[in-house]
Amino acid sequence: MPTTPWKKCADTEPNNPYVVFLTYLPLKRYRMIPRFLFYTVRILFQLTKSRGLVGYSLRANLFKNSFWTLSVWQDQSALRDFAFKGFHREVMKLLRNDMGSTKFIKWTLEGTAVPPSWEDAMRRFLISIEPAPPSTP
């Protein structure tokens, strides 16, 4: 499963909290992969110009049409500005019918813990998709 190295975009302060954002982006069909990758390159350009980005990494499982992004932001406002503006916003609309059930997971880390590990991120992802245990009366 290809994973890009962590791309550091800004320094962190050791005791400051930072927003970590993991996205799971499954495609419904293999034939969408080239278009998705084309859009990804354009989004990366927007990402690297975004205010408040600390760093990011990408992961892909091409055999399962599954993609993940892992990014760290100075604050929630910076993350929201990136997600809902520019080309990223347009792509969310363009791919809406081609995506399976996406998943978004957010947590905070202190600056000393940046970059987050993919192992921790994937553990959080797997926990988030586990069915809840049945409730007892």
Domains observed in the chain: 7-111 (3.30.70.100)
Of the listed ranges 10-19, 21-30, 70-79, 82-91, the one predicted with least confidence: 82-91
**Structure confidence at residue 58 (pLDDT):** 97
3-state secondary structure of 24: strand
The residue-averaged pLDDT of 69-95 equals: 94
Q: How confident is the model at residue 19 (pLDDT cuts 50, 70, 90)?
A: very high
Q: What are 18's strand-pairing partners?
A: 109
* pLDDT at 136 exceeding the cut of 70: no
Give me the chain's average pLDDT, please: 93
DSSP string covering 26-81, please? EBS-GGGHHHHHHHHHHHHHHHHT-TTEEEEEEEEEGGGTEEEEEEEESSHHHHHH
The residue-averaged pLDDT of 100-125 equals: 96
Q: How confident is the model at residue 131 (pLDDT cuts 50, 70, 90)?
A: confident
Residue 4: both structure tokens together: 């890009």
**Structure confidence at residue 17 (pLDDT):** 98
* pLDDT at 109 exceeding the cut of 80: yes
3-state secondary structure of 25: strand
**Structure confidence at residue 130 (pLDDT):** 77
3-state secondary structure of 118: helix
* pLDDT at 137 exceeding the cut of 70: no
Q: Which residues contact 18 (CB under 8 A, 6 or more apart)?
A: 12, 54, 72, 73, 74, 75, 108, 109, 110, 111, 114
Quick check: bond before 137 cis, omega within 30? Answer: no
The residue-averaged pLDDT of 108-128 equals: 96
Q: Give the β-pairing of 66-73 and 17-26.
A: antiparallel
